[in-house]
Amino acid sequence: MTLFRPDRNPVSSSSRVTRALEGFRASLWVMPTAAVVVTIVVAFVLSLVRPAGTSHWAEPFWPGDASSAAGFLQAVATATMAAATLTFSLTVVALQLASQQFSPRLLREFARDRVTQSVLAILVSTFVAALVGLRGVDADDPLPVLLLGFVQLLALASTIALVFFLGHIVRVLRVDTMMLAVHAETVATMHASYPPIEDHSRDVGPGLPGPAGGSIVGSLSSGFIRTVHWEALVDTARREEVLIRMGVRPGDHVTEGSPVLAVWPVGESTSVDLEALEHAADAAMEFGFERTIEQDVALGFRQLTDIAVKAISPGVNDPVTAAHAVGYCADLLRRLQGRRLGPRRYEDAEGTVRLIAPDRDMRYYLDLVCGPVRRFGRGEPMVLCALLRLLRDAAATARDETQREEIRRQSLLIVDDMSSDLLPADREPVLDLARRVETALAGDVDSAYRDRAGETRSV
């Protein structure tokens, strides 16, 4: 199974840069490694400056002798290595907690944390600078006072960074902080991936071929599709004089040989070079062993629903956290209602349609959020009420009848799937919120939200 391979077809340099930057951002070692290299160069240059003992300007950098300088550098190296070990240990604990208590799909978010990367970079830089300084301290030679001053600054920075990191890790380990970070990234991806609902420029109009009847192109790789470079596919379609209809999207898992697109010859072309299109499609799609958020809005919803499902599992039993996760999904769904979902078309420079790309619709996202939480939380009224509050919010801001029908469908599924073991008093709040969803769908938003003491809004 091929997960990573060199490109077989040219992709734009900007796409390669974006891909490389995202890979570096998700790697915990990149920033510390770069910091070590820079520190070695700077420390080596500073170690060359060795003023004579009679130079008064050097005293502020280091007023002591070689023996005290060596002791200082040894103490700094020992302390910073201990601090780096503590930082790494806390990071591992955070990763383990995120995987076991919340969702294994959150691990990538911790690896991308800039604060953790920066603190590790500062600590290892201080350690390396102290080692370089120890190598340059000799009782018979003038001291590298600038290097000693540089190590003092790094030691001070390491102390501040460690204190800041301890406060940061406490904040990051809070589940609400994790959900807020996932929400923010999903909103950014949503705005980059979906145009406003008023934008019809990429709508798929009538008269285009498909979805059946074209020549099938299979995948040359296996794994999750992380990103698709649509412009590269458009260029390929123009060069080969074909129309491409994609069968996959970012976030999908494909296996080698499974169909990923269908093609039709257009214009004067009567044949299709399937081998060339296979390699072009393979180069235009980045595969990996896990999903990433760059073009995959659904991943953000999946991470939040993972937290909700994990929270209502018997081993955790925390329905309040599940309700909070559903609340973040409610805001994301409200934002999705204002974006244009569904398939999109891409044209070449001459205005000829060259690519039709599928995408997820409102039913998919509602099923993604409501389905697993409803099934695992069918016996917990607090969770069911959270889902119905989500649907009431979506009903109050629904843009068209299609959205309203999908909201009504989910509301009926929640009521039908509610556990029969619940007492009538526990069932009534759920049924009341289901009626309020219908009221909002009918247009009476004020009545849908009016209650006695905030019981239909609070968790």
Q: Where are the domains of the chain?
A: 13-173, 297-341+360-449
Please give the average per-residue pLDDT across 331-344, as a whole number.
Answer: 95
Please give the average per-residue pLDDT across 124-152, as a whole number.
Answer: 88
Lowest mean pLDDT among 77-91, 182-196, 319-333, 431-445: 77-91
Burial group, residue 164, by CB count within 10 angstroms (0-12, 13-18, 19+): middle
Question: What digits encode the pLDDT tens for the residues 389-399?
Answer: 999 999 999 99
- Please check the confidence at residue 62 and state whether its pLDDT lies above 80: no
The answer to whether the beta carbons of residues 307 and 178 sit under 8 Å apart is yes
Written as one letter, the residue type at 185 is E
Q: How high is the pLDDT of residue 331?
A: 97
Question: What digits encode the pLDDT tens for the residues 256-301?
Answer: 999 999 999 887 767 788 999 999 999 999 999 989 999 999 999 9
Backbone dihedral angles phi then psi of residue 79, each to the nearest 5 degrees: -65, -40
Question: CA 270 from chain center: how many Å?
Answer: 43
Q: How high is the pLDDT of residue 327?
A: 96
With bands split at pLDDT 50, 70 and 90, how would you rate the model's confidence at 8? very low
Mean pLDDT, rounded, of the chain: 88
Taking the whole predicted model, whether its pTM rises above 0.85 is answered as no
Q: How high is the pLDDT of residue 3?
A: 41
- Please check the confidence at residue 7 and state whether its pLDDT lies above 50: no
Residue among 131, 136, 124 nearest 73 (CA) = 131
Please give the average per-residue pLDDT across 351-359, as a whole number.
Answer: 91
Please give the average per-residue pLDDT across 15-32, as a whole number.
Answer: 67
Please give the average per-residue pLDDT across 346-357, as a whole number.
Answer: 92
Element (H, E) at 121: helix 114-136
Query: What does the DSSP 8-state code read for residue 418?
Result: S
With bands split at pLDDT 50, 70 and 90, how would you rate the model's confidence at 154? very high
Q: Which residues of 55-71 are buried (b: 16+ CB within 10 A; e: fewer)?
A: eeebeebbeeeeeebbe
- Please check the confidence at residue 59 and state whether its pLDDT lies above 80: no
d(CA 64, CA 59): 8
Q: Helix or strand or coil: residue 339?
A: strand
d(CA 161, CA 344): 47
Question: What digits encode the pLDDT tens for the residues 195-220?
Answer: 999 988 888 877 666 666 789 999 99
Please give the average per-residue pLDDT across 57-74, as a whole number.
Answer: 81
Please give the average per-residue pLDDT across 235-260, as a whole number.
Answer: 94
